[in-house]
Amino acid sequence: MNASRKHGKMRRITKLISIILIISMLIGNISIVNAATSYEDTAQTQGDISDTFTPSDPLEFMQDPAVDLPQMPPDLTENPLDPNSPALNAEQPNTDLQPPVPDNGSTDRYIVKYKPSKKDSFKNKMSAKVANGKALGLNKDSVDPSSIKNKNNGNKNNNAYTNNGKGKGSGTNKKSTLEANDWEVLTLTEKMLPSAFAVDIKASQADSDIEYIQPDYTLSLDSIDESIVPSDSTEAQTLSQINNETIDAPTTGDIIVAVIDTGMDINHNDLASYVDTADAWDFTQNTNEVYSSANPLEYAHGTHIAGTIANTARENGVTNIKILPLRVFNNGVAYTSDIMAAVDYAVENGATIINCSFGSAQENPALEEVIANSDALFVCAVGNNRRDLAESRSYPSCYDLPNIISVASVNSDGGFSYFSNYGANVVDITALGREVMSSLPENEHGTMTGTSMSAGYVTAVAAVVDAENNLTTDKLMSRLLDTADMLSNLQDKVSHGRRVNLVNAVNDIVQTNIIQNNPADDFDINGYQPTEDELFELYDASTVTQISAGEYHTIVLKSDGIVWAWGYNYYGQCGNGTIHSSESLVQVSGLNSVTAVAAGDCHSIALKNDGTVWAWGYNCCGQLGDGTTTNRTTPVQVIGLSGVTAVSAEGARSFALKSDGTVWAWGYNCYGQLGDGTTTNRTTPVQVTGLSGVTAIAAGTYHSVALKSDGKVWTWGSNYYGELGDGTTTNKTTPVQVTGLSGVTAIAAGTYHSVALKSDGAVWAWGMNYYGELGDGTTVQKTTPVQVSELSGVTAVVAGFYHSMALKSNGTVWAWGDNFYGELGDGTTVQKTTPVQVSGLSGVTAIATGDYHSVALKNDNTVWAWGDNSYSQLGVPSLKNSSIPVMSQTEPTPPPPSSIVKNITNGNDLVVICTLSNIITSFSGIVYKITYNPAQVDLVDFAAQTSILNVSVGIVPDTDLEIVSYSASTGILTFKVNKTIASGSMWSGVVTILRFKAKTTGSTTVSFDKT
């Protein structure tokens, strides 16, 4: 722990007075700087921490948490396109098909610490609100004996905080914090905001019965990506290999290391002889079964960390380390109460080092108290949000406790990882966290990235050091910090620029010098941000290969494998590390070698050339596939996917098609749209049941579509409007075949309708048809496919929220359905029940649809868009909506002023450039007027861009200009531009260049207007 930290009680005092000390280190041409520091004498002992923690107000921690609520565009608040409106189907109003809505912070789970003998009093007073209370801890009395294997829960180690007689911390063996049984987890009769429940407690005078109460917060894992690779892979190195570390085998000690995590594959070959299988425990299911092969990816995170610990021990000849698997995470989420119980249980079973690769922005005082009253060393990941922890804390890593060591991530060359949280006065140490090779379930191996992996390695080093040296907690902490490398490039990211060093730590080689280090560039939140002009230069350096559109954002894949985005970004779906909507172009951070992209409503996914899948943005239902429900503003790798050939995303779901023809899905599953036979949301990929030989996939908002190699189509999920095409309106949780459809070559899925392209160039559709999105000339829904009217020669189809589009072989685009925002691109906002041609588009090679906007890629490498532009998703910030295509992401040209004032000198030339910004769709019938003061200047050349002086009425040679009238005495000239602009196109640029001769000295005004 940093010497500047204070313990828990003192921190609450310092909340009132904030003092920030900034120490600047100036390093000139000297390559080594003396920076000797010892922490052995300054680290606090466990005796400094009180056994009890009593806030001044028992209700102090019942504050409503900040939550991410969707921000709808103002002009959509009166949007008539409500899929749940009774107007869609007066006889069958559909009120259950609601997209996922973020929780407002209310909960029915609270942790309470009672005053002595006051439990019954409190519960009697609050009986109308409290459904039940459960003692916080293992709660052995409620354990089903059948769930226990090779275990006797009644015969536990009674000498808590000891291991073979070795006392930790200051040498005091403390009792369990939960042993006094004065804690409970309360379940209420209904969810309530903390502030509202606090009011009820106060009104019932029940606050006098408790020490304090808080919500039972949930925490998330701190890894950002995983991928399974063959176990004999040589593409990644272990941490020890990278650091070239090896030590002599230790001879003393017997160390128990608790890994509080997702559980783990305890049968993995790497973990043999290192895992304490007898005492393993799953706090989510109240059993000692901490692994299930039915869904191995659910346990990948904990297996990887355990593998790092075991492999590091094995590689260095250490055999006397036992890993205690404690499962608290289920589907990427863990409750505070379960983590507290796991800490208590770990200590009771002799754990002296506890790995905590998880975190939360909630301060969570109950968890802090349990950690504070433990003598174990807690190794805590700092998180992957790229934020300064001095300004925005992450817990438990930021608790001001002497038995916590906080860990950030560095790359293999010592460069700070772009994703890692940081803080020179907050973070203790770093370790490799980028593409770390370790164990994965089912005897696999693979790389994972995140501060979780960094914390796992520091835990491994601590265990190996302790096995060799048998240190107390404060001595072990000092050993790790004092012997760490101190890198020059990390000085502003972590205390003293530390990177853990196993060899130094084992041999107690204290470091006193700063090592000059110049790592490769990595994206950094404090790093250089390109200017708008530089971004356009980068963007224009390669061609566009694919386009995709989400609810209010657009993403583009370039030929160099880089992904770009613009539009709505409240959840980070533009992937540039911010949550600020991107009116202009942004590059997706930390992602390259991409071969395909797809956009969901508020998230995005990408397929890389190595067959892995990456995702970013909104993650309310696990649609990013990283095992959590934490939003990500930069890409994270989807867990366990390899060999992927295609991806699709819509709503809050994602899909991947693998090279073996199987389909995998994750995210929102309320209607069975993941196809795994359940309606359970998934934060990691699950295989769609019974599908093989698939060649294409399409995700609708609430249903899914797959095309098989035999030309037949299968669907699953919501079917209220017949969007599954099986002749029914019954939801399906596993795939069913679409009725009477064969010879299909392409598919698309909208919100409540589906579209298919057949090999003969005809298009068929089925499902909801309120806006004419089936294109058959009616507004009647269809539960089996009908042919889209008057459409042939089609090569591609896409579907938006309530509209559909087709690309024909001649490069034209056709659209039908809803048109409230002009998403059909025909120059109107009138819905169409049969296809209409998108205005002015030709040479199109690809199309895409968002919810209310449409996008096209032309053969000249330009991207065009039309429809809703509430968040600049069209790529033209100056527009609101457009019913005709406009060119996206043209380098911005500032609009010309209606008049310009210039300084002049008698006898000198004055040049004025007349420009038009990107707003001109037609010059037809427009006459422009130039006005100047003839007493101050003479117009000597109307079109100075040509070699001939010309101010005469008529056509100007070598230009598109025509002077309509001119009076030298009044200083007024009118002209036209005889330039044709294709329908639907836009034009911008220099109209003409005027050259004047000054007649006086001073200033003059020239105006440029339309008549």
- pLDDT, tens digit, 9 for 90 and up, residues 813-861: 999 999 999 999 999 999 999 999 999 899 999 999 999 999 999 999 8
- Mean pLDDT, range 192-211, rounded to an integer: 93
Query: Would you state the structure tokens that stand for residue 547, as one six-digit string?
Result: 């386009």
Going by pLDDT thresholds of 50, 70 and 90, the confidence category of residue 618 is very high
Residues in the chain, how many?
A: 1011
Higher pLDDT: 197 or 11? It is: 197
Higher pLDDT: 468 or 6? It is: 468
Going by pLDDT thresholds of 50, 70 and 90, the confidence category of residue 985 is low
pLDDT at 418 over 90: no
Going by pLDDT thresholds of 50, 70 and 90, the confidence category of residue 13 is very low
CA distance 508 to 357: 26
Going by pLDDT thresholds of 50, 70 and 90, the confidence category of residue 558 is very high
Are the beta carbons of 885 and 898 closer than 8 angstroms?
no
Distances (CA, A) of 727 to 707, 733, 772: 18, 16, 19
Which residues lie across from 330 on neighbouring strands? Answer: 333
Query: Would you state the structure tokens that stand for residue 408, as one six-digit string?
Result: 């950030």
Backbone angles phi, psi at 815, to 5 degrees: -145, 155
What is the residue type of 389? L
Choice among 217-226, 348-357, 398-407, 447-456 with the minimum mean pLDDT: 217-226
Place of tokens 């070699």: 947
Query: Would you state the structure tokens that stand for residue 469, as one six-digit string?
Result: 């040296």
pLDDT at 253 over 70: no
Are the beta carbons of 282 and 327 closer than 8 angstroms?
yes
- pLDDT tens, 756-767? 999 999 999 999
pLDDT given for residue 268 in this prediction: 95
pLDDT given for residue 137 in this prediction: 78
What is the 8-class DSSP label of residue 388? B
CA distance 507 to 465: 9
CA dihedral over 303, 304, 309, 311, signed as positive or negative: positive
- Name the strand (E) or helix (H) holding 109: strand 107-114
Strands 954-955 and 1002-1010: unpaired
pLDDT given for residue 751 in this prediction: 93
- Name the strand (E) or helix (H) holding 505: helix 502-507
Question: Is residue 747 classed exposed, middle or buried when 0-12, 13-18 and 19+ CB atoms within 10 A define those classes?
Answer: buried
Question: Is residue 519 classed exposed, middle or buried when 0-12, 13-18 and 19+ CB atoms within 10 A define those classes?
Answer: middle
Q: How far is CA 536 from the centre of its chain?
A: 25
3-state secondary structure 182-225: CEEEEEEEEEECHHHHHHHHHHCCHHHHEEEEEECCEEEECCCE
pLDDT given for residue 419 in this prediction: 82
Going by pLDDT thresholds of 50, 70 and 90, the confidence category of residue 35 is very low
pLDDT given for residue 582 in this prediction: 67
**What is the SS3 assignment for 140?**
helix
CA distance 696 to 247: 52
pLDDT at 278 over 70: yes
pLDDT given for residue 226 in this prediction: 37
- pLDDT tens, 904-959? 999 998 888 787 654 566 777 788 899 999 999 999 999 887 878 889 999 998 88
CA distance 246 to 707: 53
List of residues 6+ apart from 244 with CB closer than 8 A? none
Distances (CA, A) of 933 to 410, 819, 937, 1004: 66, 49, 6, 7
> Among 383, 250, 227, 213, which residue's Cα sits nearest to residue 297?
227
- pLDDT tens, 673-683? 999 999 999 99
What is the 8-class DSSP label of residue 330? B
pLDDT at 493 over 60: yes
- DSSP states along 685-700: EEEPTT--SEEEEEE-
pLDDT given for residue 55 in this prediction: 80
Are the beta carbons of 744 and 707 closer than 8 angstroms?
yes
Q: What is the largest distance, in Å, between two alpha-carbon atoms of the chain?
A: 109
List of residues 6+ apart from 313 with CB closer than 8 A? 274, 319, 321, 460, 463, 464, 467
Average pLDDT, the chain: 82
Going by pLDDT thresholds of 50, 70 and 90, the confidence category of residue 169 is very low
What is the 8-class DSSP label of residue 287? B
pLDDT given for residue 429 in this prediction: 98
Going by pLDDT thresholds of 50, 70 and 90, the confidence category of residue 988 is low
pLDDT given for residue 958 in this prediction: 84
Catalogue the E-assigned strands of 216-302. Answer: 218-221, 225-229, 255-261, 281-282
Place of tokens 């990691």: 684
pLDDT given for residue 179 in this prediction: 59
CA distance 420 to 885: 41
User: For the CA atoms of 79, 103, 652, 732, what is the dihedral angle to 10 degrees?
Assistant: -100
pLDDT given for residue 381 in this prediction: 96
Interaxial angle between packed helices 365-372 and 336-348, expressed in degrees from 0 to 180 and rounded to the nearest 10? 10
Backbone angles phi, psi at 315, to 5 degrees: -65, -20
pLDDT given for residue 92 in this prediction: 35
pLDDT at 28 over 60: no
- pLDDT tens, 784-817? 999 999 999 999 999 999 999 999 999 999 999 9
For the beta carbon of residue 572, count every other beta carbon within 10 angstroms. Answer: 24
Are the beta carbons of 634 and 624 closer than 8 angstroms?
no
pLDDT at 746 over 80: yes
Helix extents (H) in 373-492: 451-469, 473-482
pLDDT at 984 over 70: no
pLDDT given for residue 953 in this prediction: 94
pLDDT at 311 over 80: yes
pLDDT at 244 over 70: no
Interaxial angle between packed helices 473-482 and 451-469, expressed in degrees from 0 to 180 and rounded to the nearest 10? 120
Catalogue the E-assigned strands of 516-591. Answer: 544-549, 553-558, 563-567, 582-587
Are the beta carbons of 738 and 712 closer than 8 angstroms?
yes
H helix count then E strand count, the chain: 11, 60
- Mean pLDDT, range 107-114, rounded to an integer: 93
pLDDT given for residue 791 in this prediction: 96
Query: Would you state the structure tokens that stand for residue 441, as one six-digit string?
Result: 């379930």
pLDDT given for residue 384 in this prediction: 84
pLDDT at 664 over 70: yes
The pTM for the full model equals: 0.60
- pLDDT tens, 578-605? 887 666 788 888 788 899 999 999 999 9
List of residues 6+ apart from 419 with CB closer than 8 A? 224, 384, 385, 386, 409, 449, 450, 590, 634
- Mean pLDDT, range 480-490, rounded to an integer: 96
Choice among 530-534, 611-615, 747-751 with the minimum mean pLDDT: 530-534
CA distance 96 to 995: 68
- pLDDT tens, 695-726? 999 999 999 999 999 999 999 999 999 999 99
pLDDT at 526 over 60: no
Interaxial angle between packed helices 451-469 and 300-315, expressed in degrees from 0 to 180 and rounded to the nearest 10? 40
